Amino acid sequence: MSGGQRVSRKNAGESDGSDATAVDAATAVEAATERLFRLTVNRKMYARQAAAVGAVVTRAGYALLRTLDDSGPLRTGELARRSHMDPGATVRQVTALEDDGLVTRADDDDDARRTVVTLTERGRIVVESIVTVRTAHLEEILADWSPSDRADLARLVDRLVDGLQTTPFRPHLKEQR
């Protein structure tokens, strides 16, 4: 493949090492991840998942529930940090989750000015249901993928997420002619 040739979605993984190919591959990855991100916020997909789970939890709410399930009770600020959310948005989501009986809030024993958020038993059941439904859905999608492809996907998605979390955006101005 020549360095100036456009990279399609099908051959985005191929590379001859040139800068043009790297840019084309990045463009293909950006387009694919945009499709994925759009799909994850699609109302129809969300409604189908909520129906399968039997509970309506926002994406942000799920992120908080999953973090609490993974980490145990956390102060609100730490919950926001670990969930990669704005503290104000976290408080709003926690309020909604508390109203639904999925979490509780209590004063921190060490500092009454701070609040500790804890997953309730109902919250734990909802997280487990969401994980079960999502895992079964992915198993169905990946059923005809080879074990190697599945492992590669998990590894590469983790690597992409790590890069997205650690690499700052930089201004990019096209050269003026």
11, exposed or middle or buried, with CB in 10 Å at 0-12, 13-18, 19+? middle
Contact 103, 123 (CB under 8 A): yes
Contact 57, 89 (CB under 8 A): no
Report residue 97 CA to chain centroid gap: 19
At 133-157, the pLDDT tens digits run 999 999 999 999 999 999 999 999 9
Mean pLDDT of 7-25: 62
Structurally, at CATH architecture level, domain 56-167 sits in: Orthogonal Bundle (1.10)
User: How much is the pLDDT for 176?
Assistant: 54
Checking if the pLDDT of 17 tops 90, the result is: no
Checking if the pLDDT of 29 tops 60, the result is: yes
Contact 4, 20 (CB under 8 A): yes
Confidence (pTM) = 0.75
Give ranges for CATH 1.10.10.10 in the chain. 56-167
